[in-house]
Amino acid sequence: MHLRVINPNTTASMTRKIGEAASRIAAPGTQVSATNPASGPVSIESHFDEAVSAVGVADEIRAGERDQVDAYIIACFGDPGLLAARELTRAPVIGIAEAAFHMATLISTRFSIVTTLGRTGIIAEHLLQSYGFAHHCRRVRAAEIPVLDLEDNGASALDRVIAECRRARDEDGIGAIVLGCGGMADLTGEIRDAVGLPIVEGVTAAVKLAEALVGLGLGTSKHGDLAFPRPKPFSGEFERFSHLNID
């Protein structure tokens, strides 16, 4: 089984870290490869960043199809380009926010999210509504750290995330915490030990869900809105998407 983890931003160090976390949790015999687009934002912290990064996600899905990848994981908590990516393949495509929400509800009746910035917390609230998990989430909290601080100021960023997780534990009446950023993929154990609650991290949750879907022989339905896109001309810098030949 070959799983492709796509980091939608262009920061290669984060891609490596995410790939290593995915590989550690994967079952024996599962091959994990981690990629990121060549072009796009270095971090994803806004609706605009997500819109731009979604094009890169589509490019990575097309590359994965040539590599005969069995399932894909979009490793950004905004799940950018998720439905478009599903249109481009029969393989399962899992966003880490959706995966984390599902996993959290299997082990607790209420959870809180701890993410990086307040503005991305609002995006997480939109996803909770869209995916139908809003009634399970007590609060979306932000440690108020830029995403790249997880790379450049790791110890300080971890301390702030742990402090916010402890506040969630003490104030929110929850049973679990969801980490709201793919860049936190390597922090789960340290946060769990410091906080004493189940900590659900989306990259690793998505790996196990992807393995389950492939094992069950389940892929993306090609009936309805997730059917392959109709081939048509594209112009300018998107000409590469013209007359998509996928089936």
Sign of the alpha-carbon torsion through 202, 204, 206, 212: negative
Residues 214-227 as b/e (b if ≥16 CB within 10 A, e otherwise) read beeeebbeeeeebe
Residue 245 is predicted with a pLDDT of 78
Residue 83 is predicted with a pLDDT of 98
Residue 93 is predicted with a pLDDT of 98
Q: Which domains does the chain have, with CATH numbers?
A: 2-95+205-241 (3.40.50.12500), 97-202 (3.40.50.12500)
Residue 154 is predicted with a pLDDT of 74
Amino acid at 9: N
Residue 244 is predicted with a pLDDT of 87
pTM of the shown model: 0.96
Please provide the size of the chain in residues.
247
Q: Are 151 and 185 in contact (CB under 8 A)?
A: no
Residue 246 is predicted with a pLDDT of 77
> What is the per-residue pLDDT across 20-52, written as a single tens digit (0 to 9) for each?
999 999 999 999 999 999 999 999 999 999 999
Name the token pair of 127: 């996803």
- HSE of 200 in the Cβ direction (CA atoms, 13 Å)? 29
Strand partners, 95: 74
Q: Which residues contact 143 (CB under 8 A, 6 or more apart)?
A: 114, 115, 116, 157, 160, 161, 163, 164
Q: Return the DSSP state at 27.
A: P
Q: Are 215 and 82 in contact (CB under 8 A)?
A: no
Low-confidence stretches of the chain (pLDDT < 70) are none
